[in-house]
Amino acid sequence: MGAALSIGVAVTSTAASASQSAAVCSPDSRLQYDYYNSGSGGTVLSKWYNCTGSHSQSTYGYRIKPGGYSGYVYYSNGGSDYFCDYRDIYLGAKKVSRIYMAPAKIEECS
């Protein structure tokens, strides 16, 4: 029984450290995601992210202003695009399912 408890502690400890090191955050740089509040038209609203990782969405995208980040935007139709540091991309009101901000510059931006 003591061995099982030790294994449980080791697994919990490993999981905690993996989740803590998963995201890289920068107070000096942030990604701005602009999206339509109603379908593919209407008012444009914004969300801001300053940590790497995956950010779920269910909105119609207008633009990504990536700041110092690069990564990928995934659409609900299965398609995707990439974005590179400080280069805005326009999303054409496609339905966005997820934005992935990479912890290092992605290959497409090299």
pLDDT band of residue 23 (cuts 50, 70, 90) is confident
Residues 6 or more apart whose Cβ sits within 8 Å of residue 67: 29, 30, 31, 32, 85, 86
Give the 3-state DSSP-derived string for 29-85, with helices as H, strands as E and coil as C.
CCEEEEEEEECCEEEEEEEEECECEEEEEEEEEEEEECCCCCEEEEECCCCEEEECC
Q: What is the pLDDT of residues 43-53, one digit of tens each?
A: 999 999 999 99
Domain boundaries, the chain: 23-109
pTM of the model: 0.77
pLDDT at 1: 47
For the segment(s) 23-109, the CATH number from 2.60.20.30, 3.30.70.2190, 2.40.50.140, 3.20.20.70 is 2.60.20.30
In angstroms and rounded to an integer, the radius of gyration of the C-alpha atoms of the chain is: 18
Name the β-bridge partners of 81: 73
Q: What is the pLDDT of residues 67-109, one digit of tens each?
A: 999 999 999 999 999 999 999 999 999 999 999 999 999 999 9
Mean pLDDT (whole number) for 24-50:
90
SS3 label, residue 98 = strand
Euclidean distance between CA atoms 26 and 38, whole angstroms: 31
pLDDT band of residue 10 (cuts 50, 70, 90) is very low
